[in-house]
Amino acid sequence: MDATQHWFATLKWNASLRQWIARTENGIISVNESAYDRYMNEYLISQGIERKTWTQYIYPAEEAWKRQCEAEERLLANGVPAWKIKEQLRSQGIIWKTWTQYICPAEEAWKRQCALQDRLNTDIDFWRSVAQTQAAACIFRGS
């Protein structure tokens, strides 16, 4: 299978149709949104991942960073020497981290989820069986 065939044979979201679509040598596989979500969620859970949006991964990390920055600013404003900031933060239950130390784990979790989604989206035999057995999905035989 060449790169173009592989691209078409990967399930992709079609916003106009509100369907997940793949074009194969045997026709078009179409899976509706609710069936796709159900199967994708089950698959990710079986892999130990709760399906989230990028924002749901990044927002908590950004909020933790923001809390740390605000706490640092308060400490500095109250005259705490810079060299004692980490210790003072620790006493408030905050372990000092860099921006990267907050964000990278969230980004890595997002990348793991995306890789698993991509893996399932390329499993055309699986989606073909979903389309054949689910009333919510169907296969349209192409010419």
By three-state DSSP, how is residue 54 classified? helix
pLDDT of residue 132: 74
- The domain ranges of the chain are 3-140
pLDDT in tens, 94-105: 999 999 999 999
pLDDT of residue 2: 65
pTM over 0.85: no
pLDDT in tens, 14-39: 999 999 999 888 888 889 899 999 99
Which parts of the chain register pLDDT below 50? 135-143
Closest by CA to 142, choosing from 13, 29, 6, is 29
Buried b (16+ CB within 10 A) or exposed e, 83-105: eebeebbeeeeeeeeeeeebbee
- Tell me the β-bridge partners of 137: 31
